[in-house]
Amino acid sequence: MALLLILLPVAFIFLAYSLYERLRFKLPPGPRPKPVVGNIYDIKPVRFKCYAEWSKLYGPIFSVYFGSQLNTVVNTAELAKEVLKDNDQQLADRYRSRPSARMSRNGQDLIWADYGPHYVKVRKLCNLELFTPKRLEGLRPLREDEVTAMVDSIFKDCTKPENKGKSLLMRNYLGSVAFNNITRLTFGKRFMNSEGVVDEQGQEFKGIVSNGIRIGAKLSVADHIPWLRWMFVGENEDLDKHNARRDKLTRMIMEEHTLARQKSGNTKQHFVDALLTLQKQYELSDDTVIGLLWDMITAGMDTTTISVEWAMAELVKNPRVQQKAQEELDRVIGSDRIMTEADFAKLPYLQCVAKEALRLHPPTPLMLPHRANANVKIGGYDIPKGSIVHVNVWAIARDPAAWKNPLEFRPERFLEEDVDIKGHDYRLLPFGAGRRICPGAQLALNLVTSMLGHLLHHFTWSPPPGVSPEEIDLEESPGTVTYMRTPLQAVATPRLPAHLYNRVPVEL
Ligand code: HEM
């Protein structure tokens, strides 16, 4: 009875408010929201696919309610341009769920910051200091070390007599490259030794990452129904404990770097050194420095693994494409040396393979949620201030109105038409576009292309014994980032002389 007395007025307020909004604004159409919960229980787990289906029912722009929170989803390149170019500034705030708000201390980092003076300052720091072509080039040996370490470890595993003809779980190898690359880039640390054993600090780091994912993944009902939040106080404690653990490890690493710099007088290329030396000039709080370092980890680790895993699945499924990429590598590199990033310019087909994989399988298919900081119009509809806006880049990249045979994995399409992948062509937006475009896009492209190039130059890849290429499962798992539902298994057969499989380690 008491619950009913609470819920009835709540339902009444919700109905009155949605009626008021409907009369005041011309909102995009969409599924009818239920009182209190809105459409939360109508959304299927793989959200971007559900939205792509809904766009056929309700049109390319539609409304969907999380509780009473209005969300707008756009599903065509034209509408994406209206969001990310014509109304870029008004739609550049972020929606922060409770976990992301608490973990980012209300947007004191970059990813979760609203558009404003803090964001502009931190973004400028990223563009002018962290992701410059010079720093990317300076960090190249580190990436090449990790990619060759991957080749070395795949070679050792697939040539063991007991593994002959057996398939490998690709995600293990790709995940190690992404993990080592990001920890070295941000913290200047390789937590993993040459045998693949992770040290104590690395175990703590891994624990923090997986705990962060666990907390972030809980799409708690209370997040969208503010008046139920009091029921979830325990979650706040969890989040505070998580933050304390993350800050402790990060401060320890920051201190190690400060001591090393004082001792040697040298500033290294890693982000932690860069941020500590720029902290005063840019007036960054410790929370912002820690927030930025963890932003790079959360945004840059899984996305890389995911991109390469999908690309390899497509290459195993499409032996014609695999062979064509290998022929290019053999022609340009030959078989008495290994590929480096300096070879990219002479490997256009390889670059198209990476692009085509990112088209069909964008790791963040709905980008990250933007929020309107003013009333705007998109596609002739009102988007009231405070609405959350999602761009369904997955649906756009498969729109038959924008692409010929969109579901076909055909890298040649990019040889026939040069389509920009870094925010200038609204049909292809794996990194987003506009002022919130991914700052790590070039770094990610370099690493993904390098991993693919090495995997293809060194090995031929085929499905596990008894599995035909057609049987490889290309379904997605739910989540903000889109892993393959069934992790890819593939058989590696070496194709170069044995001495070219050794890791090329560097100390940076
Ligand atoms: C293939 C790999 C990657 C993909 C597909 C990707 C994609 C994206 C997308 C779609 C966004 C959101 C854009 C928006 O909201 O409008 C984003 C934001 C971001 N990405 Fe990436 N990313 C990748 C790799 C990386 C890497 C390697 C780093 C850094 C080391 C990074 C750092 C960031 C940061 C800091 C943001 C937040 C930008 C902001 O809010 O202003 N990303 N990324």
The DSSP element (H or E) to which 70 belongs, if any, is strand 69-74
Please enumerate, as own/partner, the contacts of 326-331 that have beta carbons within 8 Å and a separation of 24 or more.
Answer: 326/456, 326/457, 326/460, 326/495, 329/453, 329/456, 329/457, 330/457
pLDDT of 89 reads 98
pLDDT of 19 reads 64
Determine the distance separating the centroid of ligand 1 and the alpha carbon of 486, expressed in angstroms: 24
Burial degree of 106 (CB within 10 A; 0-12, 13-18, 19+): middle
From the alpha carbon of 445, which atom of ligand 1 is closest? Answer: 1
- CATH class, 120-501 region: mainly alpha
pTM of full prediction above 0.85: yes
From the alpha carbon of 369, which atom of ligand 1 is closest? Answer: 15
Burial degree of 42 (CB within 10 A; 0-12, 13-18, 19+): middle
Determine the distance separating the centroid of ligand 1 and the alpha carbon of 368, expressed in angstroms: 9
Q: Whose CA is nearest to atom 37 of ligand 1?
A: 111
pLDDT of 30 reads 98
Instruction: Choose the residue to mutate in 438, 449, 450, 451 for probing ligand 1, maximizing ligand atoms within 8 Å of C-beta.
Output: 438
189 and 253 Cβ atoms separated by less than 8 Å:
yes
Segment 26-66, tens digit of pLDDT: 999 999 999 999 999 999 999 999 999 999 999 999 999 99
**What CA–CA distance (Å, rounded) separates 197 from 493?**
25
Segment 377-410, tens digit of pLDDT: 999 999 999 999 999 999 999 999 999 999 999 9
Residue 213 CB neighbour total at 10 angstroms: 14
pLDDT of 194 reads 83
From the alpha carbon of 367, which atom of ligand 1 is closest? Answer: 10
Give the β-pairing of 370-371 and 93-94. Answer: antiparallel
From the alpha carbon of 306, which atom of ligand 1 is closest? Answer: 1
Q: Whose CA is nearest to atom 15 of ligand 1?
A: 368
Determine the distance separating the centroid of ligand 1 and the alpha carbon of 303, expressed in angstroms: 8
Strand partners, 192: 198
Q: Whose CA is nearest to atom 40 of ligand 1?
A: 111
Q: Whose CA is nearest to atom 21 of ligand 1?
A: 438
Determine the distance separating the centroid of ligand 1 and the alpha carbon of 45, expressed in angstroms: 23
**229: CB partners within 8 A, 6+ apart:** 98, 222
Determine the distance separating the centroid of ligand 1 and the alpha carbon of 344, expressed in angstroms: 22
Q: Is the dihedral of CA 319, 323, 324, 325 positive or negative?
A: positive
Regions in the chain scoring below 50 on pLDDT: none
Determine the distance separating the centroid of ligand 1 and the alpha carbon of 416, expressed in angstroms: 28
**What CA–CA distance (Å, rounded) separates 244 from 250?**
10
Determine the distance separating the centroid of ligand 1 and the alpha carbon of 354, expressed in angstroms: 17
The DSSP element (H or E) to which 65 belongs, if any, is strand 61-66
**247: CB partners within 8 A, 6+ apart:** 290
pLDDT of 12 reads 62
Determine the distance separating the centroid of ligand 1 and the alpha carbon of 35, expressed in angstroms: 35
**248: CB partners within 8 A, 6+ apart:** none
Whether 126 has a binding-site annotation, put simply, is no
From the alpha carbon of 182, which atom of ligand 1 is closest? Answer: 30
Q: Where are the domains of the chain?
A: 120-501
From the alpha carbon of 435, which atom of ligand 1 is closest? Answer: 41
Read off the tokens for 268.
């290294």
Closest residue by Cα to residue 271 from 22, 15, 508, 11: 508
Q: Whose CA is nearest to atom 25 of ligand 1?
A: 300
CA distances from 257 to 145, 190, 244, 274 (A): 22, 14, 20, 10
**How are strands ordered across the β-sheet holding 489-494?**
168-169, 489-494, 459-462
| Helix residue spans in 218-301 (DSSP H) | 221-224, 233-264, 271-278, 286-300
pLDDT of 268 reads 84
Residues within a 6 A CB radius of ligand 1: 110-111, 123, 295-296, 299-300, 303-304, 307, 363-364, 367-368, 430-432, 436-440, 443-444, 448
Read off the tokens for 443.
């770094």
446 and 138 Cβ atoms separated by less than 8 Å:
no
Length of the chain as a residue count: 508
